[in-house]
Structure 1
Amino acid sequence: MAPRTPSPRKSVALLTGLAAAGALALTGTTPAVAQPGSAAAGATTVTPAGHGFAATLSGKATLKSGSVTVTCSVSTSSGTVPAAPANHNPAGPVVSALTPPTFSSCTTSMPGVSATVTTSGSWTVSMQYGSPIVASFTVPTGGLVVKTSGLASCTVTAAPNGPADTSGTWTNGAPSKLAFTGASVPIKVVGGFGCPTSATSSSFTATYVVTDTTDPAQQITVSG
């Protein structure tokens, strides 16, 4: 990663989430866990097979790119657990397609600067059973764009050169949760004064609750 030019401690922030639902373009650290698809990957099963699910932001999501931080309070995405037998992988993750996560009610910490977040393309989430359970979003090329306006007009594009993965952790529960803490994704920043144009990665922090939309009495669960 290219070193950052020191900048004033002002921040503009977003959210993915998920995704990206945005979500997401991200610098930070991710938990030291085995990545899905690695040689050490074991079996993974996601249930209920064929059920739809919704991921809804709990609290706020932040996307930090250099001195710029954007905070969003609304973010959602949805998808479907693969039908059997594709909901089980004997030696790796189970992958589900997602709708591009949406992000709204976004603010910045810089006076006079507003932000909008748009997402597009084919997003996916992969679940790898383990300790912890790893959940990785794949952001498609240019699949998340943050634009600021006002005193600083910047465009931050996530995954500018190809699809990029950002890893978090999954916790089974009622409802289950998907959390990202400083998850990193490559970015490209263009703009004038106040824009972190030297930043090459951004960090994403958010927690989503995941509910079963086919049968709300059941829970989306990841096991071995």
Structure 2
Amino acid sequence: MSRTRTALALGMAAAGALSLASVTASAAPLPVAGSTTVTPAGHAFKATLSGKATLKAGSVTVTCTVSVATGAVPAAPGNQNAAGPVSSPISPPTYSSCTSSMPGVTPTVTTSGAWTVSMQDGAPITATMTVPAGGLVVKTTGLASCTVTAAPTAAANVGGTWANGAPPSLTFTNASVPVKVTGGFGCPTSATASTFNAVYLVTDTTDPAQQITVGP
């Protein structure tokens, strides 16, 4: 083969390879969420706080030692999603035995609305708790009268992780929650976000011998 033909052949091969690479790159699929299955389907569950839950807004931290929420795994086939998370409605979590980092201040936490928790299988398994608009309100009395409203204008997603086990656990570590703070002296009115920390242990209340499990 002549040098001209050899050069032409190499040039065509290189062009073909470049074209193939371009097509392959442009056709590369976008990443999608993997499949998720939560079992046992249809079973009710109870999430109970382990240790303490803290909500920090500005320089003020509210700590609660009692918190409970209930819910249920969707019935089949709703407990499976081939390309994303499985969502379950839960009761608004209750919070009690709460204290404030501000001396002479007593907090009260109330919750309301339609709360949900979504599980996405992976490494780690991720959990997203959705707080409805205005669904959590902290009011303080005593030396400072403040009102902290979580998700003040729209529903907010609070990210956490799930760990299968006996019992399984749902953990929130420095999860960000939008807030609005109103009140007078001593209230962190400039705060627009808070951090939430809590660990919940989850039990199957339909059949206590079984465990709520998240998998592919």
Query: Who is 1:106 aligned against?
Result: 98
Query: Who is 1:71 aligned against?
Result: 63
Equivalent of 2:36 in 32, 35, 44:
44
User: Cα offset for 1:127?
Assistant: 0.2
Query: Who is 1:121 aligned against?
Result: 113
Query: Who is 2:171 aligned against?
Result: 179
* Percent identity over paired residues: 73
For structure 2, the residue ranges without an aligned partner over 5 or more in a row are 1-29
Q: How does 1:1-224 map to 2 (within 5 A)?
A: 39-224=31-216
CA distance, structure 1, for counterparts of residue 123 and residue 179 of structure 2: 29
Q: Normalized against structure 1, the TM-score is what?
A: 0.82
For structure 1, the residue ranges without an aligned partner over 5 or more in a row are 1-37
DSSP-derived class of the 2:153 partner: coil
Aligned residues: 187
Write 1 or 2 for the structure with the bigger share of helix.
2
Q: Normalized against structure 2, the TM-score is what?
A: 0.85
User: Cα offset for 1:40?
Assistant: 3.0
Query: Who is 2:22 aligned against?
Result: none
DSSP-derived class of the 2:128 partner: strand
Superposition RMSD in Å: 0.9
Larger relative contact order (Cα-Cα within 8 Å, sequence gap ≥ 6) = 1
User: Cα offset for 1:39?
Assistant: 4.5
Query: Larger Rg: 1 or 2?
Result: 2
Q: Would you identify which runs of 4 or more consecutive aligned residues in structure 1 move more than 2 Å?
A: none
CA distance, structure 1, for counterparts of residue 165 and residue 115 of structure 2: 24
